[in-house]
Structure 1
Amino acid sequence: MDTIPRRARIEDVAREAGVARSTAALALRDSPRLRAETRAAVHAAATRLHYVYDRSAAQMRSGKSYTIGLLVCEITNPFYAELTAGVEAALDAAGYVTIMANTAESTVRQRRMLERFREQPVDGLIWMPAAGTPASLVDELDAWGVPHATLGRGFRRGAHAGCDNRAGMVLATRHLVALGHRRIAFLGGSAKSSVSVGRLAGYGAAMAEAELAPQHLTCRTDIGEASAIGAALPKDGPTALVCFNDSVAFGAMLGLMRAGRRPGQDVAVTGFDDIRESAAWTPALTTVRTAPAEMGMAAARVLLARIADPAAPPCREILAPQLIIRESCGAVP
């Protein structure tokens, strides 16, 4: 009867390389305490024997898995792809592997994924709260003893990295007012989160400052849904749309063009986030830059600080937004 071949152990690697077991262990961890020739000999022996590092055993010895859970809320949104890339780059440089899961804006699925991360167990957690998440979940995660930080969306307490959404929307709305627009509508922001609350507050503050009446056209972050609203805008309706994010702005411009109206000329449009496609869109999108990759790196820094010293006050990094003016608002020919 065929038998399953025994998996090579570190003792086998040490014997093959002609070194002590402790030396083989140090070499496989690339310890600088050993000569380069010794490390190379041990790695060559491990390759010949098809040795696979036993991470579960190492975790039992050190108490660390060197993995971080990353929980996103809308994986299909290009903004979150850039955000995730920033998180992974920073954590990889620090020696951690990222395990990602998507809640799809479901608090039920979010709960399930958080519990799975806890069971792994991960050394830390970066999460973007799904719409409707209660602030009490922060206390529960604290009680679990898992270092964690929120990213993009967050609460008034706890480790966090994000953008000043209110200030960013004030910039965009004031710019449209300065261009002479008086009928400016906010498009999007149907999901209730700290981001939508902040952006709506910024829009409302700028409109009140200009003594203009606000108008909120709700829709999900969905290009098709935003396109339908853009196509149905009446000719005597808003002359400018300040959109919740770039995806909503893309949809609005497609709808306007389908209705025979020119974004940037007949109706001004601004976005929020400045994802990569914004500059390449036609017309190029005026938007608020939040630097998602940098925000992701900031979240990694905040979490790593939490892991290093759980007793210290939680760090919070809030990135300043920047208005990027392009053709879609009509200010650039």
Structure 2
Amino acid sequence: MPMQDRKRNKITLLDVAKHADVSRATASLVVRKSPLVGAETRLRVEAAMRELGYVYNMGAARLRAERSHTVGVVVPNLTNPFFAELLGGMEASIDAAGLVMIIANSGDGPSRQAAVLQRMREHGVDGIILCPAADTPDDLARQVADWKLPMVQALRHVTDELDYAGANYAAGMEEAVEYLVSLGHQTICFAIHGPVHSAYQERIQGFREAMTRSGLRPDLVIAVPDRVDHVAQDAHMLFEQGRAPTAVICFNDLVAHGLAAGFYDRGLKIGHDISLIGFDDVTDAEAMRPRLTSVSTAPSGIGQNAAALLLDRIAQPTLPPRRCVSPARLHIRESCGPLRIS
């Protein structure tokens, strides 16, 4: 087709089909990446698309199929490296299914979360993966049912009436406590931060139950600031509770990094003067010196599981609610050592 004609006339899928000497239906299957088309035919149609400058009109396809081929993902904090790994796992699965992710930050606030969810509904997403903000209303499942919108809870759960992908936080915490006890530690602190949600509660439950089983006092739970630099400044709080801990388990690796800086400022050598364990085991754990012992929750795997649950839910809306809870395992590195007897 001459260039001037292409400028006057929009290239259609029928033009592509004629150029490739196939039916329009076959060309359509190629565009939609159907496995029903043979490799040779697919290559011929794709070559015709390039030669003619054909651009697939996703908006028109959405109107025809009543699908947007987009998935909304809402997380509470986009600056935490943990969520970057989680989103990476989701994206790999979502992309392989031919869909696109729209990512939003709720700031861990229910009102902002509600606004974000409304905007995603307005954009016609096919489904949503939600890490519920703290204080998310208990009627989430009813709202989702009213919206007729597939939804999966990730990392945190509000209701058993929706699919959920997460990790066994309590078991991971128990393993961390048992490891420290095996090194001789008895005064173990749990440094927590952030608002209360299901993952927060499961971590505390695991800590207290493991301490009690070991015959140790389970009440040394201390809240630290949310910002890493403030955690470092306030590390002294851990030693002002009447019982100075010899080991600390942190709510996540960010808290561990902050406390590591605070301990350094106090002249404490991690792994020698005090033992330190993080939680989540993001890639930064290997970058810290000494390398951080941390409970791995495999965020990328949780992301893949959440995406798989959502894709199934989109395809089969009447499936019963499902839970996919991954094991959490302690990765031992260099930040813990035996109890020093003075």
Q: TM-score, normalised by structure 1?
A: 0.91
| 1:16-54 deviations in Å (ceiling 9; x for gaps) | 445543343234334455554443343233223322111
Query: Residues 193 and 226 of structure 2 are in contact (CA less than 8 Å); yes or no, is this contact kept in structure 1?
Result: yes
2:183 is aligned with 1:176: no
Percent identity among equivalent residues? Answer: 40
| 1:308 aligned residue (315, 332, 336) | 315
Q: CA deviation at 1:195?
A: 0.8
**Within 1, Cα distance between the matches of 2:303 and 2:115?**
23
**Within 1, Cα distance between the matches of 2:216 and 2:21?**
82
Q: CA deviation at 1:233?
A: 4.5
Change beyond 3 A, Cα 1:233–1:5: farther
Q: Where does residue 195 of structure 1 map in the other structure?
A: 199
SS in 1 for 2:133: coil
2:137 is aligned with 1:130: no
Change beyond 3 A, Cα 1:289–1:201: same
**Within 1, Cα distance between the matches of 2:323 and 2:139?**
18
Change beyond 3 A, Cα 1:179–1:20: closer
Change beyond 3 A, Cα 1:5–1:246: farther
2:70 is aligned with 1:67: yes
Q: Where does residue 324 of structure 1 map in the other structure?
A: 331
Gaps of 5+ in 1: none
Amino acid at match of 1:176: L
Q: Where does residue 260 of structure 1 map in the other structure?
A: 267
| 1:149-180 deviations in Å (ceiling 9; x for gaps) | 01111124020000111121121122222322
| 1:97-139 deviations in Å (ceiling 9; x for gaps) | 2111111212222111111111221111111011221221222
**Within 1, Cα distance between the matches of 2:250 and 2:38?**
59
Q: CA deviation at 1:232?
A: 5.4
Amino acid at match of 1:277: D
Q: TM-score, normalised by structure 2?
A: 0.88
Change beyond 3 A, Cα 1:167–1:221: farther
| 2:299 aligned residue (292, 297, 306) | 292
Amino acid at match of 2:89: G
Query: Residues 188 and 219 of structure 1 are in contact (CA less than 8 Å); yes or no, is this contact kept in structure 2?
Result: yes
Q: Where does residue 221 of structure 2 map in the other structure?
A: 216
SS in 1 for 2:281: coil
2:84 is aligned with 1:81: yes
**Within 1, Cα distance between the matches of 2:194 and 2:318?**
37
SS in 1 for 2:280: coil
Amino acid at match of 1:28: V
Map 1:270-289; keep pairs closer than 5 Å: 270-289=277-296
**Within 2, Cα distance between the matches of 1:131 and 1:109?**
11
Aligned residues: 329
Change beyond 3 A, Cα 1:302–1:221: farther
2:156 is aligned with 1:153: yes
